[in-house]
Amino acid sequence: MIVDFHSHTCESDGTLTPQGLADFMRERGVKVFSITDHDTLAAYGQFSTPQGMRVVTGIEINTTYGDGEVHILGYRLPLGDALLAALLERNRAARRTRIGRIVQQLRAAGHAITVEDVLSEAIASASLGRPHVGKALIRLGIAPDIESAFRTYLRRGTAGYVASTHITPQAAVDAVVAAGGIAVLAHPGRLRNHGIIDELAQGGLKGLEVFYPTHAAAQTQYFRDLAKRHDLVMSGGADFHDIRYNRRGVGMEVEEADIRPFLDLVC
């Protein structure tokens, strides 16, 4: 069964429009999907679900944990929840502040980049992120590609690195649950500290993104076992942003028996 519960549009740091992404899902043969833009639900209401497919409302909430980030995916969310909207605006404001500081530091290091350069890489309503800075660095001829932009200018230890100041993972889980949604931990293979899984599993987390493009077979099995230990459902998604950098495109092929408990919760 081909599903995809993790993807991004131009409303955050992806490049396709919401309709363009929905159409791409159809071309790939995806049966059920979510658009999970960072800290915004703005894509919903901007696309028609292709015939024969099903869509589940979703979001990816960026959170700060220690000196790193943890991303919480929320599903089956209402589009008009006031408390959730306020929390998301807080995160988006933190994003805007972070972009300003990144640009300041890059300029101090001698790089001719402005906030306006970054904003030109995003639509007016977009939830801003480092990929927008990376694209500006490419357009300005400072970096040759997005990987180099992050490696040389935006990662920890580089001139443009600024730590995130988002809400906590537990606050994100609490907000998703309070809105009536299902909270899932994104791409656990990218975590620096797996102890957060144990913490969140006791605090309302319902699922783990076991099926993810960069998870090696051993990682997938490890997270399978972890999900079973904590009675978490298993989800999966391609984390698609841009075909230039995500050449596998959209969709994850998984056994229906593996994804069925998740589908039963969100559909």
Digit-coded pLDDT (tens) for 188-198: 999 988 899 99
Structure-block tokens of residue 124: 């007016």
Give pLDDT, residue 247: 85
Distance CA 259, CA 222 (A): 17
Average pLDDT (90-113) is 97
Task: Give the DSSP H or E segment for 158.
Answer: none
pLDDT higher than 90, residue 36: yes
pTM of the complete model beyond 0.85: yes
Contacts of 123 (CB under 8 A, 6+ apart): 10, 11
Side chain identity, residue 190: R
Q: Where would I find the beta strands (DSSP E) of 29-145?
A: 32-33, 54-55, 58-65, 68-75
The fraction of the chain above a pLDDT of 70, given in percent, is 100
Residue where the block lists tokens 């006791």: 202
Distances in whole angstroms, Cα of residue 194 to Cα of each of 111, 126, 247:
37, 31, 28
Mean pLDDT of the chain: 96
Q: How many helices (H) and strands (E) does the chain have?
A: 9, 9
Residue-wise pLDDT tens digits, 120-178: 999 998 999 999 999 999 999 999 999 999 999 999 999 999 999 899 999 999 999 99
